[in-house]
C-alpha cells in the first residue's frame, strides 16, 4: 500500500461526520467513465442516504469519489499535513452539502439553482467587449 493511501486510511479512522455518511479511502473510481490517470492514485469516496428530491417517499444513496489532489499529498515544513487533509475533506463535504441545498431549495417546486441543469451557452459577442 502506498504511503498516501495509508495516511488517508489513518486519518479517516479518527474523522467523523454526520450519522449515515460514509467516508473511505479507495483506489477505485466510481464514475461511469474509467479513470485514466497515473496508476498509483488515491481517492476519497463519500456517500450518504438521503430522501430523493423528486420522490420524497423513498431514499437514495448519494455519493462522490474524488481523487486526492497533489497539493493535499505534499509534505510541508510549514503546515501540518493532517490539517491540509482535514481542510480538503471538509471542503469536499461542503461542496456535496451545497449541491444538496441547490437541489432542495425551490420556489413553487422549481429549483432556485438546479445543479443538474445544462449550462446556458455563452453569448460570444459579450466576450469580445
| Sequence ranges of the domains in the chain | 3-115
Of the listed ranges 1-5, 31-35, 52-56, 112-116, the least confidently predicted one is 31-35
State pLDDT tens for residues 45-88.
999 999 999 898 999 999 999 988 888 877 666 788 888 999 99
Q: Within 10 A of 121 (CB to CB), how many other CB atoms are there?
A: 6
Longest dimension (CA), the chain: 53
Q: What pTM does this model have?
A: 0.81
Contact predicate 41/35, CB 8 Å: yes
Long-range contacts formed by 26-29: CB under 8 A, 24+ apart: 26/65, 28/65, 29/65
74/72 Cα distance (integer angstroms): 6
Q: What angle do CA 125, 126, 129 make, to 5 degrees?
A: 100
Kindly state the DSSP code that residue 10 receives in the 8-state scheme.
H
Q: Tell me, what's the pLDDT at 17? A: 97
E strand or H helix at 58, and its extent? strand 55-67
Amino acid at each position: 500500500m502506498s504511503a498516501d493511501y495509508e495516511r488517508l486510511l489513518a486519518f479517516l479512522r479518527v474523522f467523523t461526520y454526520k450519522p449515515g455518511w460514509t467516508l473511505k479511502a479507495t483506489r477505485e473510481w466510481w464514475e461511469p467513465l474509467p479513470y485514466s490517470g497515473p496508476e498509483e492514485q488515491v481517492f476519497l469516496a463519500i456517500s450518504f442516504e438521503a430522501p430523493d428530491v423528486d420522490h420524497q417517499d423513498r431514499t437514495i444513496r448519494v455519493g462522490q469519489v474524488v481523487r486526492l489532489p497533489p497539493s493535499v499529498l505534499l509534505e510541508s515544513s510549514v503546515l501540518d499535513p493532517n490539517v491540509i487533509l482535514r481542510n480538503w475533506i471538509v471542503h469536499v463535504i461542503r461542496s456535496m452539502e451545497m449541491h444538496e441545498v441547490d437541489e432542495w431549495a425551490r420556489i413553487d417546486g422549481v429549483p432556485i439553482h438546479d445543479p443538474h441543469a445544462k449550462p446556458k451557452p455563452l453569448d460570444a459577442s459579450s466576450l469580445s467587449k
